[in-house]
Amino acid sequence: MYPTVADALALPVVKEGRPRVVAGQDGLAKRVRWVHAAEVADIAHLLRGGELVLTTGIALPDDANGLTRYVDELADVGVAGIVVELLRHWSDRLPQAFVAAAERRGVPLVTLSEETRFVTVTEAIVGLIVDAQVAELRAAEQVHETFTALTVAGAEPAEVLREVARTSGLPVVLETLSHDVLAYDTAGANPTELLRNWARRSRSVHVTGRTSYDPDTGWLVTVVGARGNDWGRLVLLTPETPPHRHIVVAERAASALAVHRLVARDREGLERHAHRTLLTEILNNPGANLNARAAALGVPLEHRRLVGVAVRPRTSVSPAPAMATQEVLRDLAEATALAARRAQVAALVGVVDDTSVRVLLSLPPQAEVDNALRKLAKEVHSAAAATQRAVPVVLAVGTTVERVADVRRSMVEAAHVADAALRSASDRQYHRLDDVRLRGLLHLLAADERIAAFADRELGPLLARDASHGSRLVDTLRHFCANGGNKSAAASAAHMSRTAYYQQLSRIEQVLGVSLEEPESMLSLYVALLTLDVQDHHTTE
């Protein structure tokens, strides 16, 4: 923003005085904030730093201690340099103590061997300062306009960082408050070097205020967040003290990033709410005409192939507190919506209960449903794994239908398939009713009283025996059926000796009045056990 000492010395009005740098050559890049003509020695307490001091030396001391003290005091307040006219006090050279002190403190010390009008020098340098300030203000205005346009356009973080790098010419990194890199732009630098040991380097940089510069690391850091909810830091890597323009760039970029996050969060929240409302109406009132509302949400229902889908966390949420359940499902709903966009399928996505995320896919009439499901399933599993809780999920699919009136059936079927698939060890990308087989059918019929009566008729005496005697005959029977009637394998699975296990099987036959050697008896008991599992599962929900 400000001209340097070298810039000031290059002015024609200064060059007429035949300037000569006698000390502090390395300090010529210091910025000149103002010009101050002063003859008295005790001037330092009236300065603020960044001044180029002009003097004839007429009132300065001649002794070495006095000159050293004069330079030290000026250096302590941060003057940019000292210019001495060699005509009135010293005619051809400055005292060695004066020069030595300036060299030691790194203060540029310049002599003028010709008479120079200080007022003209002041006007010229102030003109440079004002021109630089105007240019800086114009640049800042351009920065404001640029980032305002990005904010209004809803630019993604990558676009914002690209503009930061272009405007400043510096590498920029967006990180979380836990120092994980979210996005970056190298501005042409080596990305490997930029990000090497990033978290460790970032943890060592502690800044004060919303925006500050750490000279030790060369990091200009701006906190990113809004509404009292800070969530990240924007870091510009600049080896030199950043000009005001770069600070404006960092702060405007941070604002654009914060607004983008707020807008994206609110937009997704409103979208999920609209989708949930529509899905609830489809489930509760399948005869309602919802075509126009669904089409307005970008999910046409007429003349489409419609598929109900349920996405359920494998870490069953029912034992967790209600708040945790909803948090998991909300995250999963956002991940599922993102997956649908990536798979390029139109879908209503929402949480309508405490168990799963419900989805209604709307596919073109000519679409290959299985191809669309494979793409969606791949994206759902990937997006769910990338959520904060990285929850593994079960994806279940209902029957494909073509009438809105049949959508509820497809969605209910998908939910039941998801219930059954939770107990399966299969690693299928998605499950259909024929994948979960008998267990899936029983889930579909779980509300039928005749199924409950069948299970009670088959297992009632055995359940009563366990309850009254504290035995575990039902578990013994479960191992027997699960192992296809292989007694040895069942005994091993039950961690019992064969003799003891065979005695338990005999007791079961006595209690139930059946022979376990008969295939139909074993099949009936196995179906009853599966029904019991399904009933227990629905009861816990």
User: How is residue 105 written in tokens?
Assistant: 């403190």
pLDDT of residue 109: 95
C-alpha to C-alpha distance for 357 and 317, rounded to whole angstroms? 12
User: CA nearest 490: which of 473, 507, 476?
Assistant: 476
In this structure, the number of other CB atoms found within 10 A of the CB of residue 133 comes to 13
In this structure, the number of other CB atoms found within 10 A of the CB of residue 91 comes to 8
In this structure, the number of other CB atoms found within 10 A of the CB of residue 257 comes to 29
At 243, the pLDDT band (50, 70, 90 cuts) reads confident
In this structure, the number of other CB atoms found within 10 A of the CB of residue 263 comes to 12
In tens, the pLDDT along 141-200 reads 888 888 888 888 878 888 999 999 999 999 999 988 878 777 889 999 888 888 888 888
Contacts of 191 (CB under 8 A, 6+ apart): 184
User: CA nearest 335: which of 387, 372, 374, 260?
Assistant: 387
C-alpha to C-alpha distance for 232 and 253, rounded to whole angstroms? 12
In tens, the pLDDT along 90-125 reads 888 899 999 999 999 999 999 999 988 999 999 999
In tens, the pLDDT along 335-364 reads 999 999 999 999 999 988 877 899 999 999
C-alpha to C-alpha distance for 527 and 536, rounded to whole angstroms? 14
Give the global pTM.
Answer: 0.46
In tens, the pLDDT along 369-379 reads 999 999 999 99
In tens, the pLDDT along 502-529 reads 899 999 988 888 888 888 888 888 888 8
